[in-house]
C-alpha cells in the first residue's frame, strides 16, 4: 500500500508542476518543511527549495514531466524512492527570440530522481529529493548570472 501512496505522490507532484498548481501552501501536499533539493542548478532547502521548484518550471511556456520505473524501500515511517523521468520543456517566445530563427523550441531532459520520504499525519512527504540529468536535447533556458548549472 505504501508503494502505491508514494507512486501517487510522485504523479501528483509532476501534475502540479505541469499545471502550475502553486496556490497558497501547495508545497505542504508534497514536501516537508525541511526538504532538501539537489538539482543541476544547485542545492536548496526548505522554503527556498519550494520557491526554486516553482521558479524552475516558470521559465517555460509549458512542461510535461513523466515518471517511470518507481522503486521504493519502506522502513516504518521512512522510505526511499527512485525513478526515471522524461521532462519536456517548451521555451518562452522571449527565449527563442534571443536565440534566433534556428532556436529549438523544446528542451528535453532524461533524468533520474532519488528521494527520501517521511510519513507525516497527512501522508508521505518528500524530505530530500535529488534530480540528476542523464541526457538532454535542445538548449536549456537562459538563466540569470546568479543561477548557473552545476557541472
Q: What is the pTM of this model?
A: 0.90
Rounded Cα distance, 62 and 87, in Å = 11
Go through the chain and tell me how many residues it has. Answer: 151
Longest dimension (CA), the chain: 55
Rounded Cα distance, 145 and 147, in Å = 5
Phi, psi of 42 (to 5 degrees): 130, -165
Scan for cell 523544446, then name that residue: 106
Does residue 66 contact residue 60 with C-beta atoms inside 8 Å?
no
pLDDT tens track for 5-59: 999 999 999 999 999 999 989 999 999 999 999 988 889 999 788 888 888 898 9
Q: Tell me the three state secondary structure of residue 80.
A: strand
Q: CATH says 2-137 is which class?
A: alpha beta
Rounded Cα distance, 107 and 35, in Å = 27
pLDDT tens track for 96-111: 998 888 899 999 999 9
Phi, psi of 21 (to 5 degrees): -90, 80
Task: Give just the sign of the alpha carbon dihedral 4, 9, 15, 19.
Answer: positive
Amino acid at each position: 500500500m505504501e508503494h502505491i501512496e508514494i507512486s501517487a505522490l510522485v504523479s501528483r507532484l509532476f501534475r502540479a508542476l505541469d499545471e502550475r498548481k502553486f496556490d497558497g501552501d501547495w508545497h505542504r501536499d508534497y514536501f516537508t518543511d525541511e526538504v532538501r533539493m539537489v538539482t543541476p542548478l544547485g542545492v536548496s532547502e526548505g522554503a527556498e527549495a519550494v520557491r526554486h521548484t516553482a521558479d524552475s518550471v516558470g521559465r517555460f511556456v509549458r512542461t510535461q514531466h513523466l515518471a517511470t520505473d518507481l522503486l521504493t524501500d519502506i522502513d516504518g515511517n521512512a522510505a526511499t524512492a527512485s525513478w526515471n523521468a522524461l521532462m519536456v520543456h517548451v521555451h518562452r517566445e522571449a527565449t527563442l527570440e534571443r536565440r534566433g530563427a534556428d532556436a529549438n523550441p523544446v528542451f528535453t531532459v532524461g533524468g533520474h530522481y532519488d528521494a527520501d520520504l517521511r510519513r507525516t499525519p497527512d501522508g508521505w512527504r518528500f524530505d530530500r529529493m535529488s534530480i540528476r540529468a542523464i541526457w538532454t536535447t535542445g538548449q536549456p533556458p537562459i538563466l540569470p548570472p546568479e543561477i548557473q548549472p552545476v557541472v
